[in-house]
């Protein structure tokens, strides 16, 4: 691999130099008022990125997986039932975590490549007259398949059924890159991490709790210590943590939020959509298909690209790394060996992604696929020329 080349994996993403420098700071006393000047603006920035006026923001030294565990252990009790669809590797892993915590999971098996089945959720919730289901799990953007689901439709399913279940949303590969509306969608817990849309190194689990979710923490009895939000809230009140925080990463998070808000969230989302549309134009020019079954579920942060039957897609990823020093994502779970993934989120521009498209073309041609060199690049160029970046100055 080459440190000079950008990465095209779905995370960790490329780190802007200004954020790398923000994380690289001298040691400070993390129990001093100075730490509060980093902590509280970072939490306020995350709240704005979530488009919320009231979400309680908790930031743990962890990853998105720790964020999932925070959501479950603070609001649920052993034996509680949750509703979840399995439509990709990360929804599968969340289900597995629930089961390991002694929760009962009502699983809606969904083909990989499709979005969350809000209509099936609606039927199940309406039939749950005893209100057994305590939470609904929703993966906003399934990183393994490049599928974006309609969270507003899941909220409507809950509301139409008059169901009081909490709505938990995995926004690990969507938040800070794609439109996310915590308040408008009635999200109770949103989970993300530092290493994707926030353009930072891994190390922070970032979680937003609604007032309803905070109320649920008072009666939940699943065991928790490290991820106890009440302990964390007490620490925040004193400009501190209940243990040692990741000060440099929090300083980076503060700066990342400032960068995103300066660009303008709508501009951030438009940039990701424009870049993704260029990638999709390239895929079509190659004569290949996405794992995502239809445009309404296309992700703006990652494209999982199907290769011809009998071809091992992992060979493209290995060849790119060994020959050109460029990183793409392998297929996971049910689509392992069937897709390779191009991540197009975080700190990316049209020009950067064009280099990734060109590299993918070279790899496929080297490996004997019927790919015309320049075809995908030209298709993406046509898209970017017709849809120029309005926010380049702000992004820079």
What integer pLDDT is reported at residue 4 of this predicted model? Answer: 87
One domain, residues 213 and 77: yes
Report the distance separating Cα 95 and Cα 92, nearest Å.
5
One domain, residues 34 and 169: yes
One domain, residues 201 and 63: yes
Residue 387 has pLDDT above 50, yes or no: yes
Q: Using DSSP bridges, classify how beta strands 56-61 and 289-290 pair: parallel, antiparallel or unpaired.
A: unpaired
Residue 7 has pLDDT above 50, yes or no: yes
CATH number at residue 172: 3.40.640.10
One domain, residues 286 and 373: yes
One domain, residues 245 and 270: no
Residue 143 has pLDDT above 80, yes or no: yes
Domain assignment of residue 214, given as a range = 17-262
- Select from 262, 291, 321 the last residue of a domain: 262
Report the distance separating Cα 48 and Cα 171, nearest Å.
15
- Model pTM score: 0.96
User: Quick one: what percent of the chain has pLDDT higher than 70?
Assistant: 98
- Select from 262, 286, 317 the last residue of a domain: 262
One domain, residues 258 and 270: no
The answer to whether the CB of 49 falls within 8 A of the CB of 184 is no
Residue 394 has pLDDT above 60, yes or no: no
- Select from 238, 262, 286 the last residue of a domain: 262
Is 8 inside any structural domain?
Answer: no
One domain, residues 156 and 51: yes
pLDDT digits over 243-300, tens only? 999 999 999 999 999 999 999 999 999 999 999 999 999 999 999 999 999 999 999 9
Counting the structural domains of the chain, the total is 2
- Tell me the CA distances in angstroms from 94 to 90, 213, 246, 273, one per residue in order: 6, 18, 25, 27
The answer to whether the CB of 211 falls within 8 A of the CB of 31 is no
Residue 93 has pLDDT above 60, yes or no: yes
> Mean per-residue pLDDT for 153-175?
98
pLDDT digits over 48-92, tens only? 999 999 999 999 999 999 999 999 999 999 999 999 999 999 999
One domain, residues 171 and 320: no
In the chain, DSSP assigns E strands to 56-61, 81-86, 104-109, 133-139, 141-142, 147-148, 166-170, 189-193, 204-209, 289-290, 302-306, 329-330, 339-343
Cα angle for residues 48, 53, 58 (degrees, 5° grid): 65
């Amino acid at each position: 691999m080459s440190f000079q080349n950008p990465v095209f994996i779905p995370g960790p993403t490329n780190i802007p130099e200004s954020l790398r420098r923000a994380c690289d700071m001298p040691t400070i006393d993390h129990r001093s008022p100075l730490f509060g000047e980093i902590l509280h603006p970072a939490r306020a920035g995350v709240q704005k990125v979530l488009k919320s006026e009231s979400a309680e923001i908790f930031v743990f030294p962890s990853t998105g997986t720790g964020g999932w565990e925070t959501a479950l252990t603070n609001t649920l009790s052993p034996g509680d039932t949750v509703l979840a669809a399995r439509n990709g590797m990360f929804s599968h892993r969340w289900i597995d975590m629930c089961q390991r915590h002694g929760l009962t999971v009502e699983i809606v098996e969904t083909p990989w490549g499709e979005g969350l089945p809000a209509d099936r959720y609606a039927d199940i919730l309406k039939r749950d007259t005893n209100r057994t289901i305590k939470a609904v799990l929703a993966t906003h953007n399934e990183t393994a398949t490049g599928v974006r689901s309609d969270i507003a439709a899941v909220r409507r399913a809950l509301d139409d059924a008059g169901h009081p279940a909490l709505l938990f949303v995995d926004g690990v590969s969507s938040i800070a890159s794609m439109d996310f509306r915590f308040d408008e969608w009635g999200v109770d817990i949103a989970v993300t991490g530092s290493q994707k849309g926030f353009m930072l190194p891994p190390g922070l689990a970032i979680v937003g709790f609604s007032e309803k979710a905070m109320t649920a923490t008072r009666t939940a009895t699943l065991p928790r210590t490290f991820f106890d939000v009440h302990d964390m809230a007490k620490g925040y009140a004193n400009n501190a943590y209940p243990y040692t925080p990741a000060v440099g990463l929090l300083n980076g998070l503060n700066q990342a939020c400032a960068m995103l808000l300066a660009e303008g969230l709508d501009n951030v989302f438009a940039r990701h959509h424009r870049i993704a549309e260029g990638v999709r134009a390239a895929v079509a020019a190659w004569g290949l298909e996405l794992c995502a079954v239809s445009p309404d579920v296309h992700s703006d942060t990652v494209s999982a690209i199907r290769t011809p039957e009998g071809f091992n897609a992992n060979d493209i990823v290995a060849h790119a790394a060994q020959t050109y020093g460029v990183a793409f994502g392998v297929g996971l779970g049910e689509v392992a060996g069937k897709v390779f993934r191009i991540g197009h989120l975080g700190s990316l521009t049209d020009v950067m992604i064009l280099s990734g498209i060109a590299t993918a073309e070279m790899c496929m041609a080297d490996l004997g696929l019927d790919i015309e060199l320049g075809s995908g690049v030209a298709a993406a160029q046509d898209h970017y020329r017709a849809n120029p970046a309005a926010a380049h100055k702000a992004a820079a």
